[in-house]
Amino acid sequence: MIDVINLEKHFGSNKILKGINITVNKGDILVVIGPSGSGKSTFLRCLNCMEDPTGGQIIFNGVDIADMKVDINIHRRHMGMVFQHFNLFSNKTVIQNIMLAPVYVQCQELRKAKRKNIITTFTNIFRGKDKKKELIPITTSKSEIKKNARDNAMQLLGKIGLQDKANVYPSTLSGGQKQRVAIVRALAMNPDVILFDEPTSALDPEMVGEVLDLMKALAKEGMTMIIVTHEMGFAREVANRVIFIDDGQILESAPPQEFFSNPKNPRLKEFLSKVLA
């Protein structure tokens, strides 16, 4: 589903990513680990062009999204992202946070279809009787879109047990609740893949569990996920592949069992001995 080919990123003369090649298939749970400053967050942020790659290709569903000419907004809708610091919209309530993007996107499509229909109706006047163009059928309305999005959002909130928090502002939630809402916000777009950028690093230790549990549940449902994390236990349990990035390169890529019990790269051995000690 995602093919990363020779991905490079540099800020000025500072090279962060030095040619990364990896393929992520549907249903994969890829965990990225590495020391700080190794480029693992930059790698993740390049995948949905939060940082524009300076070289290489990212083929997502058959389109090279690293190409600057591509309308990245359309592809980002199929690529959820969860941030270290949650980044819930603080001027919106929980349910508005979840509904905002789906409602906007669908209403935009509705507007486009209506606009096209007006043009077709107008041009049809000048067309011959047998050459008239068909109108795009409009089956929904703005209020219906909103209602569906609300139902969907409530259902998703029910999944994480926060239905009673639907109408509060994010500032009243705990860190764990915020992060679970952020995950649900990404889910509301029905993405093909979700990118997690250190989702538990800004949480109190006692809240890490609830977020990881939700991610495990998603993994069981077959969601494709790419996760940058320091939770080695989680990586071992949930991932089906773990990669180790250091100095802007993938130094090791293996299934978790092999990755943790039989690391080959000396740099990885050193890293694991430090974090697992």
Partner 1 sequence: MGNFGQKVSKFIEIFIEQNGYVRVLEGLKNTLLIAVIGLIIGIVLGTLIATVRVIPKYKVLPRVLNGICSFYVGLFRGTPMVVQLLVFYYVLLPIIGVKMTGVQVSMLVFGLNSAAYISEIMRSGIMSVDAGQLEAGRAVGLSFSVSMIKIVIPQAVKNILPTLGNEFIALIKETSVVSFVGAADLYVAFNYIGSNSYEFMVPYLVMAIIYIVIVLLISGGIKLMERSLRKSDRRN
By CB under 8 A, is residue 180 in contact with partner 1?
Answer: no
Per CB under 8 A, contacts with partner 1 among 30-49 are 48
Take residue 74 and report the two structure tokens written for it.
């359309």
By CB under 8 A, is residue 14 in contact with partner 1?
Answer: no
In which element (H, E) is residue 115 found? helix 94-124
By CB under 8 A, is residue 77 in contact with partner 1?
Answer: yes
Take residue 210 and report the two structure tokens written for it.
């609830």
Show Cβ contacts of residue 174 under 8 Å, excluding neighbours closer than 6 positions. 207
Take residue 257 and report the two structure tokens written for it.
């069992």
By CB under 8 A, is residue 179 in contact with partner 1?
Answer: no
Show Cβ contacts of residue 202 under 8 Å, excluding neighbours closer than 6 positions. 84, 85, 86, 175
Pairing status of strand 241-246 against strand 249-254: antiparallel
By CB under 8 A, is residue 218 in contact with partner 1?
Answer: no
CB of 78 to partner 1, least distance (A): 8
By CB under 8 A, is residue 11 in contact with partner 1?
Answer: no
Question: SS3 for 6?
Answer: strand
Q: Which is nearer to partner 1, 40 or 165 (CB)?
A: 165
By CB under 8 A, is residue 89 in contact with partner 1?
Answer: yes
- List residues binding partner 1 (CB under 8 A): 48, 50, 73-77, 80-81, 83, 85, 87-92, 100-101, 104-105, 168-169, 171-172, 182, 185-186, 189
